[in-house]
């Protein structure tokens, strides 16, 4: 729930999250939204399935959320419906479903609903999104591109996202669809951005302090290109393999944390060390 002047959690989920057994990602989102006092608004716009909104209403209600509504937004003009704006004003948690991220951005982009999502997050409300709903969270969005390929010019397309954060670029279904190559390519376009490749049934809970924690059964792959010493992206021909030197890559399992400002990862037992210089382990001689 809202906590003073801090922005709310940003929670990109890699898709395919557990909706039947432990449901730890959904459960934690409900807790952050207020539990039994929560008022969660689901935005199923990315999906073409009519039952998507109802499915998430059932899931979050079953986990104890006090109130769950969904916005049946299928056209841009739906974003101007006053009732929808009022529901977002009263929400304590917002959830964007999976589907097609270009459908989501084309319908929501530049509308009052998009403005409300950003404003409510800035006011302290957690915003979660799965699959397409995860991709759109950043200012720069992965719109498409083939998986299972090495980094190459033209293998990824980008589009503007909703802009909850400008420090990362997010890809989802990451390991399952072999998307490392396209995330590396996307990261090479502007090394300021940190690439987050999020596996299925896995989420990055990015707190107000810009430290993320991994929750779920998979991993979050972090690509830091800020110290890159060479990139051939600027003069590569379409389809040509890229040379990218000096990249840093971290793979974070459940409980690991990553400080997006310091660009440093920590294992689960090092929670208290966040904000301090990392301890470099040395190997003892045999």
Block residue for tokens 């039952």: 51
Separation of alpha carbons 252 and 167, rounded Å = 18
Separation of alpha carbons 254 and 60, rounded Å = 22
**Neighbouring residues of 268: CB distance < 8 A, sequence distance ≥ 6:** 254, 255, 256, 257
- Enumerate the H helices of 112-241 as residue ranges: 112-122, 132-135, 180-189
Separation of alpha carbons 205 and 93, rounded Å = 14
Identify the three-state secondary structure at position 250.
Answer: strand
The catalytic residues are: 131, 149, 173
């Amino acid at each position: 729930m809202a906590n003073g002047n801090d922005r709310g959690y940003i929670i990109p989920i890699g898709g395919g999250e557990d909706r039947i057994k432990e449901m730890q990602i959904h459960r934690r989102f409900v807790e952050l939204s207020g539990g039994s006092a929560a008022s969660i608004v689901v935005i199923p716009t990315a999906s073409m399935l009519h039952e998507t909104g109802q499915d998430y209403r059932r899931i979050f209600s079953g986990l104890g959320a006090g109130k769950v509504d969904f916005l049946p937004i299928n056209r841009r003009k739906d974003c101007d419906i006053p009732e929808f704006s009022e529901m977002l004003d009263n929400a304590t948690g917002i959830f964007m479903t999976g589907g097609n991220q270009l459908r989501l951005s084309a319908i929501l982009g530049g509308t009052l609903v998009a403005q409300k999502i950003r404003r409510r997050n800035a006011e302290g409300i957690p915003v979660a999104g799965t699959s397409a709903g995860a991709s759109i969270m950043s200012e720069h969005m992965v719109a498409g591109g083939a998986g299972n390929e090495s980094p190459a010019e033209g293998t990824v397309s980008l589009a503007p996202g909703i802009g909850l954060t400008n420090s990362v670029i997010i890809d989802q279904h990451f390991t399952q669809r072999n998307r490392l190559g396209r995330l590396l390519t996307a990261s090479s376009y502007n090394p300021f951005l940190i690439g987050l490749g999020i596996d299925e049934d896995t989420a990055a809970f990015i707190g107000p302090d810009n430290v993320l924690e991994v929750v779920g059964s998979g991993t979050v792959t972090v690509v830091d290109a800020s110290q890159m010493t060479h990139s051939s992206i600027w003069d590569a021909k379409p389809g040509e393999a890229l040379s990218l030197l000096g990249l840093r890559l971290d793979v974070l399992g459940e409980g690991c944390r990553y400080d997006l400002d310091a660009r440093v990862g920590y294992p689960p037992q090092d929670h208290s060390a966040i904000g301090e210089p990392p301890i470099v382990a040395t190997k003892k001689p045999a």
